[in-house]
Amino acid sequence: MRAELLTVAAGAVPGPVEYAVAADRFLEQAWLSPASRRVYRISLASWTWPLVGRETPLGSQRRGARAPVVPLALLDDPGTPSRLAAALARRARQVDARTVNREVSALRSAVYWWLGQGWIAADPARGLRHRVARPDAAPALSDQQAAAVFALPAGLREQALWRVLRASGSPAEQVLALDAGGVDLAGRRARRAVPGDEPVRWDEPASRLLSWLLAGRSCGPLFLTDRRAPSGTAPADRCPVTGRARMSYRRAAEIFTGRTRELDPAGRGWTLHQLRRPGARPLLAR
Instruction: Specify whether the CB–CB gap between 51 and 80 falls below 8 A.
Output: yes
Helix (H, G, I), strand (E, B) or coil at 190: strand
Per DSSP (E only), the strands in 96-241 are 183-184, 189-190, 224-228
Task: Please tell me the predicted confidence (pLDDT) of residue 75.
Answer: 93
Instruction: Specify whether the CB–CB gap between 219 and 241 falls below 8 A.
Output: yes
The pTM (predicted TM-score) of the whole model is 0.55
Tens digit of pLDDT for each residue in 211-234? Answer: 999 987 888 899 999 888 887 778
Determine the CATH number of domain 2-133.
1.10.150.130
Burial of 118 (0-12, 13-18, 19+ CB in 10 A): exposed
Determine the CATH number of domain 136-275.
1.10.443.10
Tens digit of pLDDT for each residue in 85-132? Answer: 888 888 887 777 777 888 888 898 999 999 989 999 989 988 887 765
Task: Please tell me the predicted confidence (pLDDT) of residue 6.
Answer: 32
**Residue 208 to residue 156: CA distance in whole angstroms:** 11
Cα torsion angle, 237, 238, 240, 242, sign: positive
**Hey, where are the domains in the chain?**
2-133, 136-275
